[in-house]
Amino acid sequence: MPETSIFSSDIAAVARIDAVPIILNMVKHVTGMRFAAVARVTDEHWVALAVDDSLDFGLRPGGELVLESTICHEIRQDRQPVIFTHASEHPLYANHHTPKTYQLESYASIPIITGNGEFFGTLCAIDTVPAHFDENAVLKTLGLFAQLIAMHLDLRGDLEKSENALADATEAGRLREQFIAVLGHDLRTPLSAIRMSADLLESKLGDRRERGLAGAIRKSSQRMGSLIEDVLDFARGRLGGGIPVRRSVVDDLQSVFDSVVAEIQASEPDILIHQNMDIPSGIYCDPTRIGQLLSNLLGNAVRHGAREHPIEVAAKLDGNEFVLSVANQGACIPEALMPLLFQPFKRSEGGQRGEGLGLGLYIASQILEGHKGTLSASSSPDQGTCFVARFPARLDKV
Single-letter residue type at 307:
R
Total domains in the chain come to: 2
Read off the pLDDT of each residue in 355-360 and give the average, rounded to a whole number. 64
Domain boundary among 206, 238, 270: 238
Residue 357 reports pLDDT greater than 80: no
Which of 202, 221, 98, 59 lies closest to 149, judged by CA?
Answer: 221
Which CATH number does the domain housing residue 184 bear? 3.30.450.40
Edge to edge, the sheet with strand 82-84 lists 64-65, 46-53, 35-41, 119-127, 106-113, 82-84
C-alpha dihedral sign at 130, 136, 140, 141: negative
Q: Is residue 3 in a domain? A: no
Same domain, 36 and 177: yes
Q: Domain with 355 in it: what CATH number?
A: 3.30.565.10
Residue 259 lies in a domain: yes
Which of residues 189, 210, 238 is at a domain's end?
A: 238
Separation CA 391–CA 90 (nearest Å): 69
Supply the Cα-derived Rg of the chain in whole angstroms: 25
| pLDDT for 328 | 95
Question: Which helix (H) or strand (E) element contains residue 142?
Answer: helix 135-165
Pairing, β 374-380 against β 311-318 = unpaired
* Inside any domain, residue 255: yes
208 and 131 both lie in a single domain: yes
Query: Are residues 374 and 254 both part of a single domain?
Result: yes
Q: What's the pLDDT at 70?
A: 95
Do 98 and 104 form a contact (C-beta atoms < 8 A)? yes
Q: Does 230 share its domain with 269?
A: no
Q: Are residues 226 and 292 in the same domain?
A: no
The answer to the question of residue 243 being in a domain is no
Angle between the N-to-C axes of helices 287-304 and 253-267, in degrees from 0 to 180, rounded to the nearest 10: 30
Q: Is residue 2 part of a domain?
A: no
Strand partners of residue 36: 52, 125
Buried b / exposed e over 25-52, threshold 16 CB at 10 Å, is bbbbbbbbbbbbbbbbbbeebbbbbbbb
CB count in 10 Å sphere of residue 261: 18
Asked if residue 271 and residue 203 are part of one domain, the reply reads no
State how far the Cα of 256 lies from the Cα of 290, in Å rounded to an integer.
9
Residue 2 clears pLDDT 60, i.e. is over it? no
Tell me what the mean pLDDT of segment 219-237 comes to. 69
What is the pLDDT averaged over residues 78-97?
Answer: 95
Q: Give the separation between CA 139 and CA 190, rounded to whole angstroms.
A: 15
- Number of Cβ within 10 Å of residue 13's Cβ equals 18
* Residue range of the domain that includes 71: 8-238
Q: Is residue 168 part of a domain?
A: yes
**Range 331-343 burial, b when 16+ CB lie within 10 A, else e:** ebbeeeeeeebbe
Residue 173 lies in a domain: yes
Which has more confidence, 66 or 165? 66
Judgement on whether residues 215 and 294 belong to the same structural domain of the protein: no
The DSSP code for 68 is G
Residues 232 and 265 in one domain: no
**Residue 25: inside a domain, yes or no?**
yes
Query: Among 153, 120, 96, which Cα is nearest to 45's?
Result: 120
Claim to verify: residue 254 and residue 230 sit in the same structural domain: no
Sign (positive/negative) of CA torsion 211, 212, 213, 219?
Answer: positive
Residues 165 and 314 in one domain: no
194 in the same domain as 259: no
| Segment 14-57, tens digit of pLDDT | 998 888 999 999 999 999 999 999 999 999 999 999 999 999 99
Give the closest residue to 22 by CA, choosing from 153, 201, 266, 206: 201
Among residues 212, 238, 264, the one where a domain terminates is 238
- What pLDDT is attached to residue 142? 95
User: Higher-confidence residue: 173 or 121?
Assistant: 121
Mean pLDDT of the chain: 85
Residues 264 and 352 in one domain: yes
CA distances (Å), 40 to each of 17, 57, 257, 272, in order? Answer: 15, 17, 46, 45
